[in-house]
Structure formats: structure tokens, C-alpha cells
A and B are shown apart, each in its own frame.
Chain A
Amino acid sequence: MSIVAFVEALLLEPLVAILRNAFGYWLVRAPTPGVALIAFSLIINLVLVPVYREMERAEAAQSERWSKMRAEVARMRKYFRGRERYFYIRTVHRHYRYSPALAVVGSGSIILQMVVFFAAYRYLSSQPELIGVPFGSIRSLSEPDGLLWGLNLLPLVMTALNVAAAFLRSAERRQRIQACLLAAVFLVLLYGSPAGLLVYWTTNNAVALLRIIGKRLWERASPVLWRTWLTQLARLE
């Protein structure tokens, strides 16, 4: 067995089996395969909420630490040159236990997302149930939607959601620009994709956006306000 096949068997196959059951469950119960796709996407997101929350917490802590590190590196860059600068920056990295390679490997959410998306892709790409199936105004989930006078609407909705998420997720200009550029890249790549993929994918993005908005509201509301609401809720009961 090759290494790739081993990794597939170890990581992807169990996930594909879970996805098959989840999608199969909704395919039978939902009125249409399109609704099943949406429900499938929602369920996957719901199951992953605690995992994402934990990983976001860890990433926020790491982000704060590395933000301090970047400030220190910037200070070294400003005041020192050449060999001296190189050694100081290396010491800053060591002090913050940072290495570019570890930074990548150490981010669990990236690996998890890649594995989950790869499994979803593997499973959905071999589903015959979506071929020629209409969903609302969409003629076939296996073809581009063409809803906007022949132009595809779903990729545009997906891009709008991505841009909104980019602006809400980070206040840093650099990260916003980077996310918007990537949204544009995905728009180009996915523009001609089948509507089924985009229904699933746009639902994912909508859920992600709602999570960001919900998190923002939770953070902004004062603890006093939450206590008042909870007290009122208790009285109603």
C-alpha cells in the first residue's frame, strides 16, 4: 500500500463514510436533493462548531503572541542592519518559539479544514443524484446556474459573502486585502462550476458569516445585558 493510499484509508475514508451517511440521511428525508445539500452543509458546520471554536481560541492566543513578535522583529529591522539584524531576528523567533515551518504545521484548523473539504469533494464529486436535478430556479444542480440573464448568480453571492466575512473577520488592512483577493480568485475558479457545488459551498460561507456576526454580537453585548435577558427568560418560564 502506498503512503498516499494509507493516508487516504486512515483519514479520508472514515470521513467520507460519515459524509455519505449524513448526505444519504438528508437525501432520503429532504423534499429535494438541493435542500438535502443545504441541510448536509448545515449539519457538517454544526458538528464542527465546537472544534472550530476551540481552534479559534488557540489561534487567537497564537495570533496575539505573534503580533508581539512581529512588533519586535520590526524594531530590529528598523535599528539594525546586516548580520547583526539577522541574528537578532533569529533570537526573536527563538524567543517566541516561532519557525515558519512550525507555524504552518502547528495550525490544526488549516489541516482539519483541508481534510474535511477534501473528503467532501471526494464524496460529492461522485454523486449521481445531482445530475439533471432542478432546485428552485436552478435548472440542474450539475450545471452552472445561469440565473442572472445568462450569468451565474451563485458565484457572485458566494463572493459577496466572502467579502463580507473578510471585512468582519479582521480589522487588519493587510488581511482584508488578502481575503478579498482570494475571494476574487475563487470567483474566477468557481464561476463555471456546477450549481450543486456552489449551493453546498455558498451555504458553508453563509454559515461562516453568520458565525462571525453571532460572535461579534456576543462580544459586543455587555454581560449586564445578557444577565437581564437571561433573567427575563427565566421569569417567562
Chain B
Amino acid sequence: MNDPARAALVAPLIAYIDPGTGSALLYVISGLVASIYFAARSLYLRLREVAARRGGRLEKCVVAIHGEDPRYEITFLPVIRCLVERGIDVTYFTMYERGDSFEPLPSEVKHRNIPPGLVGYAYLNNLEAVVLVTTTPQLDVMTFRRSRRVKHYCHIPHALGESRYVRPYAYDFFDSVMCCGRVLEQNIRRMEEIRQLPKKRLLATGIPHYDVLLRERGSRSASSERPTVLVAPSWGPMSIFEVFGTSLVRTIARHYDVVVRPHPQMKVSQPELYAEVLGIEGVAVDTGRTPLAAMARADVLVSDISGIMHEFAFVHEKPVLLIDHGGEIGGLEGHLLGGDSDLKRLCRDFIIPVPPSEVDQLPEHIAAALRQHSTERIAKTREDLVYNFGGAALVAARQLEELVSCP
């Protein structure tokens, strides 16, 4: 073959690649670029974690309990006491200093104070334990990752939830979840079906801190003069203070005594709004570590989606007004579950929805709620929706004992 003819025949290699393959080649290149980006980012995060871990001494535990915030002490302490009574070795990791104002731990419990945030999680990511229990969701999603040396991760509830107003993958990568009630259990199973995840162990536990609230309830009494309204909304974009402003508090205060309890997270995430709430005149503001005193004092609660309304209704057996502004659930798990809140539907007789258009008429709604109130109705619904009411801590301890023996 002469050279010009050969040159004519030797077309570029790409001459034999069809558009499908060419498209694939582009895909290869974009894939490589994306891979390099993700690999670099993962490496950066891993290096940060290693840097944060340096100098840390790893702990070997049987039951490791992780407390992210002081407000979860009320969940853990009753369980810890029951575990100690059963002779189980407990190590309590807190991401905050347990000062003198905190209730003392049983002497058998080892307490470790770990730093908050990334450094603390880096420590936990390398922990050695048979079972790790936490209220913090999204294991293995954000910075809280699974340690290869922890045999079993268990989530414990700090409120009556239903896996609807929680962020993505809240429970997905736990080995077990201590369910507060049947609605959470059903919705976790639904999420497992939607995401085609293996079934995790769902335990009928209940809400351990209700045990404490129930005991505390007996020692206090509600006011007998003008009814007291507790206004305790959640934080973030769905908070009624964010949606309607704080003027609704003044509207109520014209007819009732008012106690305002801003959500503790509001102080961190919405400091300006928090300061505005503290400055409302003519009302009492409660910022105590627990809402026990405020709830005991109040006759009716005004809230939005905060877990406090279930505590108030089920523990104190008093009515709640839920300002139902139907906030966008966005990327939360409820987005995939679809429909509306099951808890809202089942509790609407005593957690009474108030449409946003009627926020100005809150005093009238409060009067009607107090008039129609029935504790029997609440007790019946509670039996249906909450596992082991008043005895959940002991149940949780027994379940943890089982998990330790068979993680």
C-alpha cells in the first residue's frame, strides 16, 4: 500500500466510535473529573478527622451512652440508673461539661466529657463498645459515623416522634431504634420499604423521660387563679415565632397569664429572635434546663410541631393548641412518607389545630379548649400511641441488656 493511500485510510481512531460510544467517552471524562473531586473532598474530611483524633485515647465500653446536649439528660439518666441496678457497665459520654448543677451520676457510671462537634464525633467514630446509645439521629450520614469497633448502634427517642419532621436518613443506619410508639415503628418500616433497606430491630420501648415528667407532675400543681398559657414553639423556619412573629404572645397576654419558653436551639440558631422573645414585656420567660416547672404551672399550651406538646398533653393531661401553619416539610422524611402527620390526626381532640388565619382569635380558642377538655380521652389515646407509659426507662434498660448479650 502506498503512503498517501495508507494515510487516507488511517483516519483518526475516533472514526470507528459511534455517537453512543462517543457519548460514553464524554461520560468517562466527566466521571473521572467527578471521581477526583469526590476523592479529594473525602480525603480532606478524613484528614480533618485524623487531625481531630490525634492525642485522643480510645475507650473500651460495654454500653456507651452519647449525650449531645444537656436537654437529653432527662432521657438518659433514668435508663442509666436502671442499667446500673442491673449490673451493666455504662460509660456516659457528654459533649458538654457536667457541672455541679447537674444531677450526680451513680458512682458505678464512668463519665467522659468529650468536645462538642467534629472533634467529639471523631472520638466516637473510633470508640470500642458493645452497644452505643444516642439520641442523635443521622448515624453515618453527617459527621457521626459508625466505628468498626462498636458492635451495635441504638437510637433512643427524646420525644414522641413519627419519623416525619426529621432530616434525611435519620434512623436508616442504626442497628436498632427504641420506638416511642406504633406510629414511629410503622413509619420507619415504611421508610425501609421506600428505600429498600434491610429491616432494623425496632423495639417497643416508649419514652424514658416521660417517666421522670410523670413523677415530677405529681409534685406540682397548676395555678388556680387566671388560667396560665404556656407558649413554647419549636425553632427554625417552621417556628410560629418565625412565621407569625411574637405579637401573638401579647394577644394572649391580654386575657391570660403567659409563660413563654423559647426552644433551647433557638438561642444557637436564631439568636436575634431569641433575644426578641426574652424582651417581651408583661409575660414570664422560662429558660430553665427542663420545661417541667413551666408545664406544671400552665393550664394550656400553645405550640407548633415541638415535642413539648405531646409531653404536655400525655404527661400533664392538659389541652394544647397547635398552630397548624402547614409549613413546608421540604427535604424532611415526611416528604417521602407523604400525607399528613398521623400523630396530629390521632390527637386532634386535645392537641387542637388552629388555622393560621385564626391566630388573632387564639384567646377564644384557648377558652374553648379549656371548656371541652377531657383527661379520659387523652389517657385512651396515650395508651394507643405511647409504649410503656411511665415505665419506659426500665424497659429500655432490659432491651439494652439483651442487646449487650446479643448485639
- Report A's interface with B, CB cutoff 8 A: 75-76, 78-80, 84, 86-88, 90-91, 95, 99-101, 103-104, 107, 110, 113-114, 117-118, 120-121, 124-128, 130-132, 142-143, 162, 165-166, 178-179, 182-183, 185-186, 189-190, 193-194, 196-197, 201, 204-205, 208
A178 to B23, CA, bound (A): 7
Task: Please report which residues of chain B, range 27-44, place their CB below 8 angstroms from some CB of chain A when the two chains form the complex.
Answer: 27-28, 30-35, 38, 41
Chain B residue, CB-CB nearest to A204: B18
Most central of B6, B28, B33, B167 by chain A CB within 10 Å:
B28
Q: Contact check: which of A99, A100, A166 meets B19 at CB < 8 Å?
A: A166
Contact A113–B21 (Cβ < 8 Å): yes
CB distance from A12 to the nearest CB of B (A): 12
CA distance A75 to B195 in the complex (A): 14
Interface centre among B16, B22, B195, B335 (most CB of A within 10 A): B16
Contact of B8 among A104, A162, A189, A194 (CB under 8 A): A194
6 pairs from A and B in contact (CB 8 Å cutoff): A75-B335, A88-B331, A113-B21, A117-B21, A118-B16, A186-B22
Residues of A within 8 A of B28 (CB): 104, 110
Interface size on B, residues (CB 8 A): 42
Query: Across the interface, which residues of A come within 8 angstroms of B1, CB to CB?
Result: 126, 128, 131
**Do A91 and B169 contact each other (CB < 8 Å), given the known contacts A118-B16, A190-B15, A201-B16?**
yes
Does B15 contact A193, Cβ atoms closer than 8 Å? yes
Residues of chain B with a CB closer than 8 A to A165's CB: 19
A130 B31 Cβ-Cβ under 8 A: no
CB-CB under 8 A from B330, the residues of chain A are 78-79
Known: A75-B331, A190-B15. A104 touches B9 (CB 8 A): no
Measured between C-beta atoms, what is the minimum distance from A169 to chain B in Å?
8
B59 nearest CB across to chain A (Å): 26
Say whether B24 faces chain A, with CB atoms less than 8 Å apart. Answer: yes
**Interface residues of chain B: helix, strand, loop or mixed (majority):** helix
Beta-carbon contact of A194 and B9 below 8 Å = yes
Q: Is the CB of A76 within 8 A of B331?
A: yes
The residues of A that contact B41 with a CB separation of less than 8 Å are: 86
Which 9 residue pairs across A and B have the least CB separation, nearest first?
A: A79-B331, A100-B34, A100-B31, A117-B16, A101-B35, A110-B24, A79-B330, A104-B31, A121-B16
**Contact assessment for A88 and B16 in the assembled complex, using a CB-CB cutoff below 8 Å:** no
In the bound complex, residues from chain A placing their C-beta under 8 Å from that of B22 are: 182, 185-186
Nearest CB in chain A: distance from B29 CB, A: 9
**What's the minimum C-beta distance from A94 to chain B, rounded to whole angstroms?**
9
Is the CB of B379 closer than 8 A to any CB of chain A?
A: no
Which residues from chain B contact A208 at a C-beta distance below 8 Å? Answer: 18, 20
> Counting CB contacts under 8 A, is B406 at the interface?
no
Asked if A99 and B169 make an inter-chain contact with CB atoms under 8 angstroms apart, the answer reads: no
Which single member of A95, A101, A107, A118 contacts B24 (CB below 8 Å)?
A107
With contact pairs A87-B142, A100-B35, A125-B9 given, residues A179 and B19 touching in the complex (Cβ less than 8 Å): yes
Instruction: Say whether, besides A76-B168, A117-B17, A179-B19, A99 and B141 are in contact (CB < 8 Å).
Output: no
Segment 327-364 of B: residues with Cβ below 8 Å from A: 330-331, 335
Contacts A100-B30, A100-B31, A179-B23 given; indicate if A142 touches B9 (C-beta within 8 A).
yes
Q: CB-CB < 8 A to B9: which residues of A?
A: 124-127, 130-131, 142, 194, 196-197
With A113-B20, A182-B19, A201-B16 as known contacts, state yes or no: A190 contacts B34, CB within 8 Å: no
Instruction: Tell me if B14 is interfacial: C-beta within 8 Å of chain A.
Output: yes
* Docked-complex contact A189 and B19, CB < 8 angstroms: no
Residue in A closest to B169 when the chains form the complex, CB atoms: A91
Q: Does B5 contact A (CB under 8 A)?
A: yes
State the Cβ distance, A113 to closest chain B Cβ, in Å: 5
Residue of A78, A104, A197 touching B11 (CB-CB under 8 A) = A197
The residue on A at minimum CB distance from B33 is: A100
A77: nearest residue on chain B (CB-CB)?
Answer: B331
Q: Are A189 and B12 in contact (CB under 8 A)?
A: yes
B142 contacts A114, C-beta separation under 8 Å: no
Say yes or no for B268: interface residue by CB 8 A criterion: no
Given A100-B32, A121-B13, A194-B9, CB of A84 within 8 Å of CB of B23: no
Bound CA span A76–B336, Å: 12
CB-CB under 8 A from A126, the residues of chain B are: 1, 6, 9
| Cα–Cα distance between A8 and B9 once the two chains are bound (Å) | 21
Quote the shortest CB–CB distance from B320 to chain A (angstroms).
28
